[in-house]
Chain A
Amino acid sequence: TQLLEQSPQFLSIQEGENLTVYCNSSSVFSSLQWYRQEPGEGPVLLVTVVTGGEVKKLKRLTFQFGDARKDSSLHITAAQPGDTGLYLCAGGTNAGKSTFGDGTTLTVKP
């Protein structure tokens, strides 16, 4: 069974601080996605990483896929209150199911 562990589970920081969220597994994934989910809504795709060692940037968000394609990180620079939300990582095989982590609940205080 493929499992994804996210850490930390909860993170509360002040506006302007930097943070990193981690997503780790003992399994290899063909790709890994990061989603953001608001309460009562569906996950919204942020990024997909496919190649080991790949780094993608989305404004103040930087995503990295581990060399062995077993882990990933999400780094947010100068966090803003609008970044508050639940961040999910998900890994899967091509055209197959996605296995989700438990999520990291981020709170950015003004």
Chain B
Amino acid sequence: EPEVTQTPSHQVTQMGQEVILRCVPISNHLYFYWYRQILGQKVEFLVSFYNNEISEKSEIFDDQFSVERPDGSNFTLKIRSTKLEDSAMYFCAKKTSGHGNEQFFGPGTRLTVL
């Protein structure tokens, strides 16, 4: 299974700043996901993206969050005005069609909000 790559590996930002996390490159998969994991806590679902639109989102994914596929391959997560509690690992995942819900995760971006 092809790898999922994410950039940057680590992002440090000031509270209130906008950040864009990238998931690149993406092959021709239809299903993409963003998850986050606060240090020491469980992996939490943020949003799923199917056929170029959001198919499901969690309570965490409020108006400060957005997702895009700006050029048909990259998949981005934008946080408009970061808060201290947004500090976490953010994982992009993809799913191939069929065979249950098995997802393949990227290495993650560690976001630190100061």
Is B75 interfacial (CB 8 A cutoff)?
Answer: no
B27 close to chain A: CB less than 8 A: no
**CB under 8 Å from chain B, chain A span 1-42:** 30-33, 35, 40-42
Q: Which of B42, B48, B99, B101 has the most CB of A within 10 A?
A: B101
Size bracket, chain A contacts: 20 to 34
- B100 (CB) vs chain A CBs: closest residue: A31
Interface contact A94-B100, CB-CB below 8 Å = yes
Contact yes or no, A41 B100, CB < 8 A:
no
- Whether B58 is near chain A, meaning CB under 8 Å from some CB there, is yes
Are B105 and A96 in contact, with the CB atoms below 8 A?
no
Say yes or no: is A43 at the interface (Cβ < 8 Å to chain B): yes
- Residue-by-residue, is A75-91 near B (CB-CB < 8 Å gives 1, otherwise 0)? 00000000000001011
**Stretch from B12-20, B78-86, B106-114 contacting the other chain:** B106-114
Pairwise interchain contact A98-B107, C-beta atoms closer than 8 A? no
Smallest beta-carbon distance A13→chain B, Å: 22
Which of A33, A44, A48, A96 is within 8 Å of B48, CB to CB? A96
Residues of chain A contacted by B102 (CB below 8 angstroms): 31, 33, 45, 48
Interface residues of A (CB under 8 A from B): 30-33, 35, 40-45, 48-50, 88, 90-103
- Seed contacts A31-B99, A92-B100, A94-B100; 19 additional CB < 8 Å A-B pairs: A30-B100, A32-B100, A33-B100, A33-B101, A33-B102, A42-B93, A44-B105, A45-B103, A48-B101, A95-B48, A95-B55, A95-B95, A95-B101, A96-B56, A97-B58, A98-B33, A98-B35, A100-B42, A101-B42
19 A-B pairs with C-beta separation under 8 A? A31-B101, A31-B102, A33-B102, A35-B105, A41-B108, A42-B4, A48-B101, A48-B102, A88-B42, A88-B43, A92-B100, A95-B55, A95-B95, A96-B48, A97-B45, A98-B33, A98-B103, A100-B43, A100-B45
Q: Which residue numbers of B lie inside 8 Å of A, CB to CB?
A: 4, 31, 33, 35, 42-45, 48, 50, 55-56, 58, 89, 91, 93, 95, 99-108, 110
